[in-house]
């Protein structure tokens, strides 16, 4: 019995090791540093957008927009995902919330001048950039920033 348990334990350790090695080899971009709520990207400095250059967000609706640029496998980005999903649902019709995975398409990161992920860009309804934040950004802090920028979004009323 002890021998069977020991064999099963060794098999589990071997499988975990193989999966870990395989994931490390396929991760590529995920191995890039993700520390203190931000992940660095491998964009050469010469391809970064100069400061002061305004990039307009693609505007489908005349709404202010919150654009989050990150990656599906970046830990701080994963922490942002449920917050963004909730804001997208809660403020539908008031705020356009969009997420773009810059590890899937690195040209998007270059287009927006992204240095670290996650990066949140706040746009007015005309597509003018109002504010940019790098790293994890809590829901309350984002709503406070929108308020500071002159946008107060109404929370839906819950009837009990």
Which residue among the candidates 67, 69, 77, 87 is catalytic per the annotation?
77
pLDDT at residue 43 greater than cutoff 90? no
Q: Tell me the pLDDT tens digit for each residue of 80-104.
A: 999 999 999 999 999 999 999 999 9
Q: Highest-confidence range of 55-59, 98-102, 105-109, by mean pLDDT?
A: 98-102
Let me know if 74 is a catalytic residue.
yes
Q: Label residue 4 by pLDDT band (50, 70, 90).
A: low
Measure the N-to-C terminal CA separation of the chain; round to a whole number of Å: 57
Q: Which residues contact 43 (CB under 8 A, 6 or more apart)?
A: 106, 109, 110, 114, 115
* Whether residue 39 lies in the annotated active site: no
How far is Cα 25 from Cα 19, in angstroms, rounded to an integer? Answer: 10
Return the half-sphere exposure (C-beta side, CA atoms, 13 A cut-off) of residue 66.
27
E strand segments, the chain: 34-35, 38-40, 65-70, 96-101, 116-117, 119-123, 129-134
Between 101 and 106, the more confident residue is: 101
Asked if the 38-148 domain carries CATH number 3.40.30.10, the reply is yes
| From 41, 71, 74, 80, active-site residue | 74
**pLDDT category of residue 29 using cuts at 50, 70 and 90:** very low
């Amino acid at each position: 019995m002890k021998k069977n348990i020991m064999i099963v334990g060794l098999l589990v350790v071997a499988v975990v090791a193989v999966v870990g090695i395989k994931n490390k080899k396929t991760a590529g971009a995920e191995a890039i540093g993700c520390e203190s709520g931000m992940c660095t990207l491998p964009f050469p400095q010469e391809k970064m957008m100069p400061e002061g250059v305004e990039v307009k967000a693609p505007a489908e609706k005349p709404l202010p927009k919150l654009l989050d640029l990150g990656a599906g496998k970046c830990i701080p980005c994963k922490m942002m995902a449920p917050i963004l999903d909730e804001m997208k649902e809660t403020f539908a019709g008031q705020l356009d919330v969009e997420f773009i995975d810059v590890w899937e398409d690195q040209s998007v990161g270059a287009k927006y001048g992204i240095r670290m992920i996650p990066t949140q860009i706040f746009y007015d309804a005309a597509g003018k950039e109002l504010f940019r934040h790098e790293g994890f950004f809590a829901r309350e802090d984002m709503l406070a920033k929108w308020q500071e920028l002159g946008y107060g979004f109404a929370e839906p009323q819950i009837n009990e």
